[in-house]
Amino acid sequence: MKKIVFIWMVSILSFGLNAQSIIGAWEGNYKTETGENLKSVVIFTDGYQATAVYNADTGTFISTTGGTWELDGDTMTEKVEFDTNNPERVGTEKSFKIVVTNFELEIVGSDNKLKKIDNGTPGKLQGAWLMSGRVRNGETQSRDVNRPRKTMKTLSGTRFQWIAYNTETKQFMGTGGGTYTTIDGKYTENIEFFSRDDTRVGASLKFDFSLVDGHWVHQGFSSKGDPLHEIWSLRN
């Protein structure tokens, strides 16, 4: 129960006093009662956020939660789109008082704090993206981004996390994340956690990327070595 409460609070901690001050990535570290070192990373984009918790030593995935957020004064309201610890939270809203000081975020009444990792730079892909299409055999297959089944990728200036989930069935299909760079048309992911296969932790994947009419065109090979050619669109 203690771990679940902490993870839930970390998700809400990811909301600061204004959109400009919280956009980017934040990190928290703590030790469990059994001595396990856990890391939580929260990525904020304009209106969307995602929190991942994993073993800081092994990369073993623990949990993820996230969705949309709105700020009214010092009160943050989150609408949950996915939550691996408590799927029944999907679709619900929670509001909390928050405060940000000296590059730290905390929820009022809590001792848990997150430290700022980046402010949304220097990566060129900061934002929340939905997979909107694939190219197969030279033909583009579009995907409706408004359907309940989503594959979302949230990126700060240095961190990324992708999540596959369904807001209607409350099902979670998978997630992974870590650090990334965008240099000379190459997008490189360095995997720190992967819910489907811990053996992928530590791998680096390099892709060609370009921005075409506001869409992110992503080409390369998956962690399994399969070729991929994806199109991603920013969430409204």
Give the model's pLDDT for residue 223: 82
Give the model's pLDDT for residue 73: 78
The residues spanned by each domain of the chain are 2-117, 127-234
Token readout for 176 is 């992974």
Q: What is the CATH superfamily name and number for domain 127-234?
A: Uncharacterised protein PF14869 family, DUF4488 (2.40.128.490)
Give the model's pLDDT for residue 20: 42
The tokens 């969705």 sit on which residue? 67
Sign of the Cα torsion 201, 204, 208, 214 reads positive
Which of 127, 70, 66 shows the shortest CA–CA distance to 98? 70
Token readout for 43 is 């990525």
pLDDT tens digits, 160-191: 999 999 999 999 999 999 999 999 999 999 99
How far is it, in rounded angstroms, from Cα 164 to Cα 230? Answer: 15
Percent of the chain with pLDDT over 90: 75
Cis peptide before 122 (omega within 30 of 0): yes
Nearest 5°: the CA angle 177, 180, 181 is: 170
How far is it, in rounded angstroms, from Cα 224 to Cα 197? Answer: 10
pLDDT tens digits, 47-58: 999 999 999 999
How far is it, in rounded angstroms, from Cα 131 to Cα 94? Answer: 27
How far is it, in rounded angstroms, from Cα 41 to Cα 143? Answer: 29
Torsion of CA 149, 155, 161, 166, to 10 degrees: -10
How far is it, in rounded angstroms, from Cα 64 to Cα 39? Answer: 12
CATH classification for the domain delimited by 2-117, as one of 2.60.40.10, 2.40.128.280, 3.40.50.2000, 2.40.50.140:
2.40.128.280
Q: Which residues of the chain have pLDDT under 70?
A: 1-20, 102
